[in-house]
Amino acid sequence: MSNKLEQLKQFSDVVADTGDIEAIKKFKPLDATTNPSLLYKAAQMEQYSGLVQDALATSDNVEDASDKLAVAIGAEILTVVPGRISTEVDARLSFDTKASIEKAHKLIGLYEAAGISKDRVLIKLASTWEGIKAAEVLEKEGINCNLTLLFSFSQAAACADAGAFLISPFVGRILDWYKKATGKTEYDKFEDPGVQSVTKIYNYYKQHGYNTVVMGASFRNTGELEALAGCDRLTISPQLLGELEADTGSLERILSPENITMNTEKLLENEAAFRFSFNEDQMATEKLSEGIRGFVADQINLENYLKAQKA
């Protein structure tokens, strides 16, 4: 019998949530995603030392070196995945639509200079109102986007309305919040609030015929993955990929466009309505803020690491 990873690949496109090219080679995902936290870890790996030095040698400042390193690691990953790489816009630009668009253009330009067409890249943006509006512009230019740090139904609805190519709803971080808020330490996989959030979003998109891809992210255990088998895509850490590969049990498809039971009215919000409904969701408000702060911190850590390497 095939293992659960191979079975899962029959239902969902599997994406590696890592910058470690050796792990990517091992698990053979369709795509890969990176973020400032993963890039900071990757920059310290011996296998990427040459890319770090090249980025520093061809840059006037650490911001440029960081962008060039992100693209260089992305380009390296694209030699072993058949699909796309997600590369993130600096989280410090999360509330600046114009600057986010400019950064996206810069990253795509660096990829094109490396001989990689934009159709193999997803630009990652935080799912703030400004990030969603930046994605709306970029998508019209033919630059596909991955809207990340997504915790609420309101965010998901706005992303689909903006024509985003893909969203990354964060399953595990939602679970983290509810565990802390309620004191409940164990959840059945189908009662997991992160799983329930992604399930609702997936069904809403299929019900209303949106083309936006739903890619569950930020998983804490394989039970969450099993409960979302059939989701368009799932981005998974090497640890959980390994656990799925080692498990030879049977895996059932849970999510399917043909198996939608919900009937939710289409949600179309202007900026004021979006901000109000998002503000009403305490979990989403706190986790988005925390997530942006975390990515900013690791972006700064990466830049400080590059400064130290240049010294």
Q: Which residues are the active-site residues?
A: 124
Neighbours of 185 (CB within 10 A): 6
CB 115 within 8 A of CB 76: no
Torsion region of 88: left, alpha or beta (phi above 0 gives left; psi -120 to 50 gives alpha)? beta
Whole-number Å distance between alpha carbons of 162 and 285:
20
Whole-number Å distance between alpha carbons of 251 and 236:
16
| Residues 6+ away with beta carbon under 8 Å from 180 | none
Instruction: Read off the tokens for 263.
Output: 């009937």
Residue found under tokens 């903006």: 162
| Helices and strands in the chain, H and E counts | 14, 8
Reference 83, options 202, 240, 232, 238; nearest CA is 232
Reference 149, options 85, 93, 101; nearest CA is 93
Q: Alpha-carbon Rg of the chain, whole angstroms? A: 19
Whole-number Å distance between alpha carbons of 131 and 128:
5
CB 216 within 8 A of CB 201: no
